[in-house]
Amino acid sequence: MKEKYAGSVLPRARPRPGGGCGPGPDPCAACTARVISVCDAVSPEDLPRLAALTTPLEASAHRTFIAAGDRADFLFNITGGVVKVYRLLADGRQQITGFLFPGDFLGLATNNTYAFSAEAVTDVRYCRFPRKGLEQFLDDVPKVEKRLLTIASNELAAAQEQMVLLGRKTAREKLATFLVMLGGRMSRLGDSTEEFSLPMSRADIADYLGLTTETVSRTFTQFRTEKLIALPKNDRVRVTDRPALAALAEAE
């Protein structure tokens, strides 16, 4: 199992392992993830109202907490841990469309049902908002709606980036891009860019990059042989030749 990863994602997060909402009457005010999420757009005086809508929840590693086809009654904000968002084909082929980290937002749905599934990669903490209530809240606090639009735009840009990766990059370029991206992300969460944890399995990395586990593994080995990276543990990378890795990643 993967419980080992729990809490390793926010090494310097303060109040609770894995980060997350604080307890007490005003949990959102104490939320360690707030500064990097939607909730940042909420002014202090509106926080209690947001908190009233919020249900803080947890999911242990490998739990699927959103299944494609479910009624899309909720929106989510990840406060601790790592989540994978994915789609399946009928025969089981899986494409992971994104990994979510603390502060990331989830749940923008087109119809009344989710078109994707979401599974906890590590133990996860998240806040759940009922769509109905949140929509009301959004009407009253337009700033948050703007923020949502910004978030959606960012995700759209990221999605386009990922399409370039999936459609036009080689296995080496894909993995290099992934490592650079993950390093950046991890460092923003308090880990170092040079050495950081790799919370997801090889299979998940493969399903994110449009490859097989074997190819991911082989490419890791190549990179290690070429001294671009080191793998002190299976779930930890040290980038030893950042320029070379970045060059591979940004064939653009």
Partner DNA sequence: CGGGACTTTGAGCAAATTCAACCATTGTGG
Partner DNA sequence: CCACAATGGTTGAATTTGCTCAAAGTCCCG
Where does this chain bind DNA (CB under 7 A)? 1, 3-4, 170-172, 201-203, 210-218, 220-221, 231, 233-235
Minimum distance between the CB of residue 180 and DNA, rounded to whole angstroms?
17
Instruction: Give backbone dihedrals phi and psi of 113, rounded to 5 degrees, phi first.
Output: -125, 155
Candidate residues 146, 188, 227, 238; the one interacting with a second copy per rule CB under 8 A? 146
Asked if 171 touches a second copy (CB under 8 A), the answer is no
Residue the block writes with tokens 């749940």: 107
Residue 84 CB partners (closer than 8 Å, separation 6+): 96, 98, 99, 100, 118, 119, 121, 200, 204, 208
Return the one option of DNA, a second copy, none that residue 1 interacts with (CB less than 5 to 8 A, by type). Answer: DNA
Q: What is the pairing mode between strands 236-239 and 195-197?
A: antiparallel
- Cα–Cα distance list, 175 to 6, 50, 200, 217 (Å): 24, 39, 13, 10
Residue 160's binding partner, choosing from a second copy, DNA, none, with beta-carbon cut-off 5 to 8 A by kind? Answer: a second copy
Q: 145, 195, 226, 235: which one contacts a second copy (CB under 8 A)? A: 145
DSSP one-letter code for 227: T
Alpha carbon of residue 192 to chain centroid: 17
Q: Does 40 bind a second copy (CB under 8 A)?
A: no
Q: Residues interacting with a second copy, by CB under 8 A?
A: 87-91, 93-95, 97, 108-110, 115-116, 139, 142, 145-146, 148-150, 152-157, 159-164, 166-169, 207, 209-210, 250-252
